[in-house]
Amino acid sequence: MEETRSARKRRAILDAARTVFLRNGYQGAGMDEIAALAEVSKQTVYKHFADKERLFTEIITADIRAGEQRSDAVLESLPESTDPEADLREIARRLVTVVTRPHLVRMRRVVIGEADRFPDLARAWYTSGPERGYERLAHRFAQLGDQGRLTTPDPLLAAQQFVWLALSVPLNRAMFDPEPFTTAELHRFADEAVRTFLAAFGPAR
């Protein structure tokens, strides 16, 4: 179905606002700048979004939904795995490359910076992002444990440790250093995370 003119304008406003929020932060973002970048009038921006807070909320919630979809796609095939080591490497590689993408790191900084002003949004980012990811991965680990492919007496703790074995160093650097790791370096972190994880949680021998 063809996108309506109103829908196109709304999407243009959201795209422009995301760019401005990422560049300037919430405090530094101006509705005039957003309108100019979207090539609409400021009145049109206010017609779609009552104020800057509503616009910021819409962007964060849209990013949360997109993150949920990415997480679901990564984990969907794990329970049917015939080679958990290879599949865990693939999951770890995709996880570390997605989470450290520059625009997601910048958005994470913005959300953290505005956590006091928007505590519900910050909580939703964590609940729908990291926490949901841990829970879904834990469910998959429990299934693999039932099949004898992993040994995870506490699947949730195992999921949390798996994620941070892969993410801790790359994500911490990305948050503070404008020069990210290369893809090859990210994959090395992921592969070593899986090797360490399986040494602790691999099948009982």
| Residue ranges per structural domain of the chain | 1-49, 59-201
**What is the mean predicted confidence (pLDDT) over 58-86?**
73
Predicted pLDDT of residue 1: 45
**Domain pair 1-49 / 59-201, same fold:** no
Q: At the fourth CATH level, which superfamily is domain 59-201? A: Tetracycline Repressor, domain 2 (1.10.357.10)
**CATH superfamily of domain region 1-49:** Homeodomain-like (1.10.10.60)
Residue 10 has which token pair? 């709304």
Give dist(CA 102, CA 69) in Å, integer: 19
What pLDDT, on a 0 to 100 scale, did the predictor assign at position 7? Answer: 86
95 is written with which tokens? 């996880």
Rounded mean pLDDT of the chain?
87
Residues 146-160: pLDDT tens digits?
988 899 999 999 999
* pTM (2 d.p.): 0.80
- Which residue, among 203, 178, 181, 190, has the nearest Cα to 83 in the 3D structure? 203
pLDDT number for residue 34: 93
